[in-house]
């Protein structure tokens, strides 16, 4: 309803004038209220604020290595040094390098860049809402954008890691197999896993600040529960030799990164791929995304009050 100033200034009954003025004001006021109950992801609203995702992602990228001596070189050193440790412990001392058909450094690093992206994204997501407290308490936007921006910022480090992997493959004169075209699908799987776990931990960290200490410990334990530094068949053979049932293997496969790291090795290096592991891990990643995002949406109405 549009009412001109002239119409409001015309002499009329005071009650009618007040009603017209109230209608004119209410026509330009938008009231934002939280919806009760469980809510799913509003993809339309996220798309509407897509530019904010870009700016928050770029902010996180710039802040991550601000005032550091080595800058973005940490994106190279961290996965590379971790891979070298795994090569020494598992490859040389553990004798696992004979179980692979490719150089063990390539074997480890191909999985390490996937794991490092997941671990960095989850770690940043866990603290994202707390570090953005001023923004959350003053401006309205879909709160899920904050952990999404943290996951997006990790893509820069991932691309740097891929560049290092290419250099290593050239040094070893290794030609990737044709199935490398499927690598983006496994990257999507890592992103889905990171968003699911990261959004859940971000919401829990706001309510329970103990999770600031839980997340680093969780990631450290999770890495050893993921076949990054060792072949998957070593674990499955161990379970079979000890008489453990297939249920224990499926429980291990429920780790979404178990299938994704195997997928990276299969697509980049041509290593064997356990389809049952990949299927269970993919289902687990999707379930984590649904649960994490749904819980996030359920409790986000309280973020501005307690953050």
Supply the mean pLDDT for the chain: 82
Could you tell me what percent of the chain has a pLDDT over 90? 35
Mean pLDDT, range 78-89, rounded to an integer: 88
Q: Are 145 and 49 in contact (CB under 8 A)?
A: yes
The confidence band for 27, taking pLDDT boundaries of 50, 70 and 90, is low
Tokens of 26: 């209410």
Q: Where are the domains of the chain?
A: 1-31, 39-306
- Is pLDDT of 179 > 70? yes
**Which has more pLDDT, 219 or 53?**
219
Mean pLDDT lowest for which of 86-90, 179-183, 211-215? 211-215
Using the Cα atoms of residue 158, residue 161, residue 163 and residue 165 in order, give the sign of their dihedral.
negative
Sign of CA dihedral 252, 255, 257, 262: positive
| Residues 184-232 pLDDT 10s | 999 999 999 999 999 999 988 888 877 888 888 899 899 989 999 888 8
Cα 160 to its chain centre, rounded Å, is 17
Task: Place 11 in a pLDDT band, splitting at 50, 70 and 90.
Answer: very low
Residue predicted with more confidence, 192 or 298: 192
């Amino acid at each position: 309803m549009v009412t001109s100033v002239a119409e409001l200034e015309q002499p009329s009954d005071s009650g009618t004038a007040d009603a017209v003025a109230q209608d004119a004001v209410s026509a330009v006021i938008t009231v934002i209220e939280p919806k009760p109950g469980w809510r799913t992801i509003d993809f339309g609203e996220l798309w509407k604020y897509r530019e904010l995702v870009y700016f928050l992602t770029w902010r996180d990228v710039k802040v991550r290595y601000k005032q550091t001596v080595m800058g973005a070189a940490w994106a190279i050193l961290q996965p590379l040094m971790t891979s070298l440790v795994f090569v020494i412990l598992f490859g040389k001392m553990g004798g696992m390098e004979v179980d692979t058909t490719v150089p063990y450094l390539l074997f480890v690093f191909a999985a390490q860049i996937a794991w490092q992206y997941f671990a960095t994204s989850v770690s940043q997501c866990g603290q994202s809402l707390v570090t953005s407290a001023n923004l959350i308490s003053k401006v309205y936007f879909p709160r899920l954008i904050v952990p999404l921006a943290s996951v997006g910022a990790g893509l820069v480090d991932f691309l740097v890691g891929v560049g290092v992997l290419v250099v290593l493959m050239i040094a070893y004169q290794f030609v990737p197999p044709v199935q490398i075209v499927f690598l983006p699908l496994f990257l999507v799987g890592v992103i889905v896993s990171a968003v699911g776990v990261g959004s859940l931990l971000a919401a829990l960290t706001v309510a329970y600040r103990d999770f600031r200490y839980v997340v680093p410990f969780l990631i450290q334990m999770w890495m050893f529960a993921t076949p990054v530094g060792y072949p998957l068949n070593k674990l499955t053979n161990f379970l079979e030799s000890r008489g453990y049932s297939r249920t224990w293997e499926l429980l291990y496969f429920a780790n979404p990164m178990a299938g994704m790291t195997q997928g990276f090795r299969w697509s980049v290096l041509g290593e064997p791929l356990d389809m049952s592991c990949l299927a269970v891990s993919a289902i687990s990643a999707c379930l984590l995304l649904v649960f994490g995002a749904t819980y996030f949406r359920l409790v986000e109405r309280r973020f501005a009050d307690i953050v």
